[in-house]
Structure 1
Amino acid sequence: MKEETLQRTFPKKTITNNNSKSKSKKGKGWRKDRQKYVGSIFDENDDTCNNDETKMKSKHQPNIAQEPIRHSLDEKEVEFTDPRKSIHSTMNSPVEEHEEADLDNMGFRAEIAEIPLGKAKQLQERLGKKLFDKAFFVEDSSSDLNRKSSHKSFARENPKRPREVSSKIPVSKFRNVFENEKLEKPAIDPRFDSRYGEFNDYIYHSNYSFLDEIRQREKKILMKELKNTREEGDVNRDRLKEALRKMKNQEKTQADVNRRKEVIREIRHENNERMCQGLPPIFKTRAQIRELIWRRKYDELKGGKKLEKYLRRKTKKQDKRSVLPMNQQ
């Protein structure tokens, strides 16, 4: 028998065709089934939907008509509630918390005061000494806050002991090593500071010559006040006399200093002229300088009674000097 040849009416199966068909079938079938299932659940016109489908429909689609009613009720409740009361009930201020804690501690103290000593000892052992002391010997909240805010000051028990300083606080550069030490910038006196140059007496007196005028005015004012106070035993009168005496003594000493300066200036001027002429300078001794100063003073006092007073005082001083060695013997 001749073998009958069968003709293929469909294409050959290949790996590519199999994969494409399987994918297309799976995708299309899953989408169609999903559309049917969703349509059966959410199709309101479908009469053939089951009870389970209606339940799922009610779950997925909440009743929209009831929502505005519920919101309106919530709004009414919010309107009737007092916001101050709600805030006050939910939140407590720190002051109230401290007050409540203080009241609790006071009540705890009162209870322990009524309990016998043995039971209080047992309670202390049960709670622990630290917790018991904290509850019983608690201090006021205000003092705790002040203690936290205030910096601890380390005082010396004895001034001869060293200062106690905390090791936890870093040492500042501008600290007081000694208690009486001053950290402020010290006052600078230009008279004794080399940075301001050498002191020139002539320039100083020429710049501050107005001080002499001020002293003369003050002297006149004191003399007027002294005339007004006639009583001898008055304390104010004695004070004015002492002030005038000091001012007169200062004027006398300043006049002596100026006289000495003028004599020395004249001696230097003469020596400079001699050196310009080619002659050697003449250096005078201290005794010679004192004699020249006395002659200048004698010439100034020659005009009136001042010379007589001056000579009288000088003779008294000389007599005292001559009498002193005899008394010592």
Structure 2
Amino acid sequence: MKEETLQRTFPKKTITNNNSKSKSKKGKGWRKDRQKYAGSIFDENDDTCNNDETKMKSKHQPNIAQEPIRHSLDEKEVEFTDPRKSIHSTMNSPVEEHEEADLDNMGFRAEIAEIPLGKAKQLQERLGKKLFDKAFFVEDSSSDLNRKSSHKSFARENPKRPREVSSKIPVSKFRNVFENEKLEKPAIDPRFDSRYGEFNDYIYHSNYSFLDEIRQREKKILMKELKNTREEGDVNRDRLKEALRKMKNQEKTQADVNRRKEVIREIRHENNERMCQGLPPIFKTRAQIRELIWRRKYDELKGGKKLEKYLRRKTKKQDKRSVLPMNQQ
């Protein structure tokens, strides 16, 4: 009854083939060969091994040429070592490596502290400043490890998701809402920005009056260079002449502007004095202001030959205006 139940429950295991027997015998023979070459895997007193050995001798006759080699291999004691143990013994843990590096750096710093300044400077020149400072002013490796571990990169798992940002860091005023958008701070022009107040020309020129001195120096340098370049066909000579002409014209226009400002300032000062005395102010027309400016200019040019040159130029301009072109006549 027991056999029938076993056959019903495990039908495949009860069936036996000749091929399976041959495989099992081959497996036992392989075990014996392994025992001879690699050392004692099974116990020599085991009966199963001895029976298998007799079966192998009966079926397979041993080769005579291979017997002495097997005896020689049996005589030698083969020792198998696990290579992972040797690798593990050579490799140190990262904590031990950092401790060794810290000890080396401490020793190096202690040696440098005893060396005189001259020799330390020579050593710094040989090694280089960066390498010397790195070795002498090195930080603890433990702090570096903690820093690396504390740093967290807020990377997105999926590019379509919103960006993950730390809530501890305050949000900047200028930030990119979209990825490809480039944000730049708008440029501020203080001349047209009400935050900087109204432009005062008098304060500006009083603060930057040193620029006039620099322009005068540049003008002298250009005049010296122009004297050195005597050839009229020279390109540098024409360039220097043009630069000097521009500087002289700028000086003339600035002088006219300053003259006009002085005249208006005098008129305001007179009106303020009249108002303090209880008299009404006198408002002058544009023609009267222009006449006062010409008088002031005449007084400035009166001393030398500048007045004659100025009057000659002015008469030439008036003559050109009075003469009409041929087609209009």
Instruction: Report the TM range for the smaller structure's normalisation.
Output: 0.3 to 0.5
| 8 Å Cα contact 1:40-1:49 kept in structure 2 | no
> Partners in 2 of 1:150 and 1:6 — Cα distance?
64
Residue deviations 1:147-182 (CA, integer Å, cap 9, x gap): 999999999999999999999999999999999998
Note the aligned Cα RMSD (angstroms). Answer: 26.5
Partners of 1:226 and 1:240 within 8 A in 2: yes
Q: Secondary structure at the match of 2:8?
A: coil
Q: Does 159-168 or 256-265 show the bigger shift? A: 159-168
2:233 match: secondary structure: coil
1:216 CA displacement:
0.6
For structure 1, which segment, 12-21 or 232-241, has the greater mean C-alpha deviation from structure 2 after superposition?
12-21
Map Cα deviations across residues 66-119 of structure 1 (whole Å, 9 max, x no partner): 999999999999988997999999999999999999999999999999999999
> In the aligned structure 1, how far is the partner of 2:2 from the partner of 2:218?
164
- Contact kept, 8 Å, 2:29 with 2:52, in 1: the verdict is no
Q: Which runs of 5+ in 2 are unaligned?
A: none
The answer on whether the counterparts of 1:156 and 1:163 sit within 8 Å (CA) in structure 2 is: yes
Alpha-carbon distance, 1:294 to partner: 0.2
Q: TM-score, normalised by structure 1?
A: 0.47
Structure 2 vs 1, CA of residues 217 and 270 (structure 1 numbering), >3 Å: closer, same or farther?
Answer: same
Q: Which structure would you say has the larger Rg? A: 1
Structure 2 vs 1, CA of residues 15 and 226 (structure 1 numbering), >3 Å: closer, same or farther?
closer
> For residues 295-327 of structure 1, what are the alpha-carbon distances to aligned partners after superposition, in whole Å with 9 as ceiling and x for unaligned?
000000001110001001111111111113775
1:191 shift after superposition: 1.3
**What is the deviation of 1:195?**
1.1
Contact 1:222 1:244 survives alignment (8 Å) = yes
Separation in structure 2 between the aligned mates of residue 167 and residue 4 of structure 1, nearest angstrom: 74
- Cα distance in 1 for residues equivalent to 2:10 and 2:269: 149
Between the aligned partners of 1:141 and 1:7, the Cα distance in structure 2 is 70
CA drift of 1:188 comes to: 1.9
Q: What's the counterpart of residue 45 of structure 2?
A: 45
Deviations 1:45-78 (A, max 9, x none): 9999999999999999999999999999999999
Distance 1:244 1:137, change over 3 A: closer
Q: 1:280 to 1:116 in 2, by over 3 A?
A: closer
Distance 1:6 1:162 in 2: 65
TM-score by length of 2: 0.47
More deviation, 259-268/122-131: 122-131
Higher RCO structure, 1 or 2 (CA under 8 Å, sep 6+): 2
Structure 1 residue 251, shift from structure 2 partner: 0.3
Of all paired residues, the percent bearing the same amino acid is 100
Q: Which runs of 5+ in 1 are unaligned?
A: none
Task: Answer yes or no: is the 8 Å Cα contact 1:42–1:57 preserved in 2.
Answer: no
* Whole-angstrom distance in 1 between the partners of 2:17 and 2:48: 40
Q: Secondary structure at 1:40's aligned position in 2?
A: coil
> Does structure 2 conserve the Cα–Cα contact (< 8 Å) formed by 1:259 and 1:293?
yes
Q: 1:181 to 1:157 in 2, by over 3 A?
A: same
Partners of 2:92 and 2:25 in 1: CA distance = 68
* Residues 166, 294 of structure 1: alpha-carbon distance in 2 compared, 3 angstrom cutoff: same
Matched positions, count? 329
Question: Judging changes above 3 Å, is the alpha-carbon distance between structure 1 residues 145 and 306 closer, same or farther for their aligned structure 2 residues?
Answer: same
